[in-house]
Amino acid sequence: MRVGVHTGKVICGIVGTRRFKFDVWSNDVTLANEMESSGQAGKVHISEATYGFVKDIYEVSDGESVQDIRKFKVLIEFFNKEEQCFAIKHTQDEAMIKTYFIERRLDGKPVYALPPIEITPEPDITQPTSDANGSGSGASATKDAAKEPGEHPSARPLLIGQSQTNNIAPAGGDSQLPTSVSTALHEHRMSLDDKQASLKPIGRSSDVQMLEALKDLACMEDVFAFPPISRFTLSFHSRPVELSYRSLGLRRPKGLAAKNLSWSTPRVAPFINAVVETIILILILVTCLATFPDSLRAAHSPMFYVVAMIALFLQFLFLSLLIMDMIAWNSGQAGSGASRTTGCNWRRCAMRTYMVCFRWPMRNTIGAILLFLPTAVVLSNFTGAYFTGTREYSHIFVAYYRIIFGLMFAFMLFNYTLFTTFSSWTKTLSACVGCAIAIVLCLLPAKTYSSLHLAYDRYWQFEPIVHKYNQAGVALPAWVVPVMEDSFRWELLVVLSVTMGLIGALNRECDISFRLSFHRDYEALRAKQAIAHQKIQADWLLENIIPYYIMDDLRLHSKYSRHIDDAAVVFACISNFAEFYDEQYQGGQEMLRVLNEIFADFEHQLASVQYKDVEKIKSNGACFMVASGLNMTERRRNRRPDTHLHALMDFALDLIHTLDDFNRQMFNFQFEMKVGYNIGEVTAGVIGTTKLLYDIWGDTVNVASRMYSTGQKGRIQVTEAVAKRLESRYVFEYRGEVFVKGKGDMKTYLLSHRRND
């Protein structure tokens, strides 16, 4: 193993929109690559900058000097003979930096090993993680490509704990894939089992721990939470939450909620309350007709019948609106397509009417009128009994009337607790108006009444009359005496006031409870939506690290490695990006932004249906790696076995055209691309323990890397076997023999065009 160390500044970030990874770029990173590639096996090669930090710790020996690429670059204009136009390029002064090899520590400690670090937080494979495939720079890949061809890092698998750089040189290691994912999952399960075992209750210890936890509660607010509402108006502090609460009764149940309807469903609860109020109104009407006044001796006033008819009409109109609305949205969900079309107009009309009537201002206005209907009926009957009576009534009847009058008003006030979708202030203020009218009528002096004047005259002489009844031996009912006393009116006043206070408190508590329940559901829904959004993001991030089609295998077997025959691999490298890269302006960030735009344009092509078999493997510096035929499910769906091979070649052509389009928007700088293409068997798998990486390895990958590194700008270079395999669809030009490291001289071809073009 060769190790290179350099100290300097880096730019860290993500380049690309698909299958991206966290990486670092800078000229200092390129120098670290140079330290590794120019080093010696079994030694640590450091630069002069690093030596300044460790010279008091390690004994070193001199190494060969390397070129310093950190010097300032100068833009110059030159005439490009090939393009027959003027262009610009960077030039910089040449300089060398000293290098050293670590020999031993000055304190005598060994330098060849570090104590193993046990990683406690084991990752889950379903968590989005980054790529641990080493560091890269925008200049390193292209710089090394200009030198002698080396073996691409993806040609061989990495061992656990092995570093990888952007240098196109042998990474070293075995040819055997590690099972690090399985090990990580096993250790993760073991740690979870240990935690669960430690949480198991043992005897009374769990009860004691629970009591201790309850004692640690700071205050009651930690247990009983008050919703975030105004204590006076009971409106939510957050305007969006308040608007959502007010529109609660306008939402139609859908999906599972439509199948599990209950009385508390906001769209159903008004109907249940309307039915209850209708029953209360009918009971009050029957009671008024039967008892106020004695129908054998007095008649009701016309106003009572008018008020009663109006009350019944409004009540049944409101009830009919709710019934039609429920039928409309229920039939719209359960009906067939033909029935939906036939009854579309009346359903739309019914639901629109409901939506208009149940908006917050209109809802509370209608609610105040509906809730006051029983009070209006009782008051109209009360005034009729007092102002239209023509006969005298006995003291027993007057006492009976006063008892029924008080009970009717006390019972009638509980009508104002219905309709939880109305504002508590609407119900309470309506009840206050009705109660105030009742109290005023109770406190009116007797001389203000005309029809019952004689009865009240006899009331003031009630004690002598009671004495006469006693002398005659006729006993009055026990309840008559206290009712006919003058204090009864004040007792009734107290009863109505207390009842009114109870109604107000009940409405307030119900509103608070209902708003608290809504707020909990609202927060739960927001949390659920946030979790769903985070899950979508996590799945998206995970698919940019691990392909979706291998997730099932990872869940079942905790590891993934597969040998794939007849796969195609492409390396596309911007060979002159090192000339463009300059750290003098914002440390090189703008140059990486340009690289990100180029790769984003490349990856945008992958969204096309014709490239469904093509997928990006990774980007390494200015090198873009894609492959096809790795998804066996998609390959089996193709009509021809070579479809994925043709798709990748077409994609490589589109990469060149995309870069040409990008160059037209550049000012006096033209990016150049070399593309290498190869077909053969590869090994695909997931490696890593903390930053999982999906990658492919094999001789096919290595040769594809050589094809781009020894290729020509703007052309796609392939081997002789690939040219013969694809000659039925593409036209190739014989280039000649090219020396390939590890392969010797190979016959190579350059793609000319598609035959159908």
Q: How far is CA 573 from CA 23, 34, 579, 657, 723, in A?
A: 17, 19, 14, 14, 21
Under 8 Å between Cβ of 237 and 230: yes
Under 8 Å between Cβ of 702 and 733: no
Q: How far is CA 289 from CA 292, 398, 403, in A?
A: 6, 17, 16
How many whole angstroms separate alpha carbon 244 and alpha carbon 574?
Answer: 54
The structure tokens listed for 287 are: 């009671």
Share in percent of the chain as helix, strand, coil (round to 5): 50, 15, 30
Taken in order 246, 249, 255, 256, the sign of the CA dihedral is: positive
Q: What is the DSSP string of 269-305?
A: HHHHHHHHHHHHHHHHHHHHHHHSS-TTT----HHHH
How many whole angstroms separate alpha carbon 648 and alpha carbon 725?
Answer: 14
Ordered by where they begin, the domains of the chain are: 3-112+128-159+546-754 (3.30.70.1230), 255-532 (no CATH)
Q: What is the pTM of this model?
A: 0.59
Tokens 């990752």 -> residue:
123
- Strand segments (E) across 575-711: 614-620, 623-628, 673-687, 693-697
Q: What is the DSSP string of 167-202?
A: -SS-----SSPP-HHHHHHHHHHHHHHHHHHHTS--
Q: How far is CA 635 from CA 545, 614, 682, in A?
A: 21, 11, 15
pLDDT at residue 19, as a whole number: 86
Q: Which long-range CB contacts under 8 A does 731-735 form with residues at least 24 apart? A: 731/755
Under 8 Å between Cβ of 629 and 566: yes
Q: Note the pLDDT tens digit of each residue in 166-189.
A: 333 333 333 333 334 344 444 544
The structure tokens listed for 579 are: 């000339």
SS3 state of residue 659: helix
Q: What is the DSSP string of 345-383?
A: HHHHHHHHHHHHHTSHHHHHHHHHHHHHHHHHHHHHHHH
pLDDT at residue 706, as a whole number: 92
SS3 state of residue 731: strand
Under 8 Å between Cβ of 458 and 395: yes
**Beta pairing partners, 627:** 569, 615
What's the gap between Cα 534 and its chain centre?
5
Under 8 Å between Cβ of 708 and 679: no
pLDDT at residue 476, as a whole number: 62
How many whole angstroms separate alpha carbon 273 and alpha carbon 281?
Answer: 12
How many whole angstroms separate alpha carbon 696 and alpha carbon 719?
Answer: 19
Under 8 Å between Cβ of 515 and 236: yes
Torsion angle in degrees (nearest 10) through CA of 571, 575, 578, 579: -160
Q: Which helix (H) or strand (E) holds 454?
A: helix 453-460
Tokens 């429920």 -> residue:
326
pLDDT at residue 477, as a whole number: 66
Low-confidence ranges of the chain (pLDDT < 70): 70-84, 86-94, 110-206, 213-225, 249, 251-264, 291-301, 330, 332-344, 382-399, 442-481, 483-486, 757
State the distance between the two ends of the chain, measured CA to CA, in whole angstroms.
49
How many whole angstroms separate alpha carbon 721 and alpha carbon 696?
Answer: 21
pLDDT at residue 171, as a whole number: 36
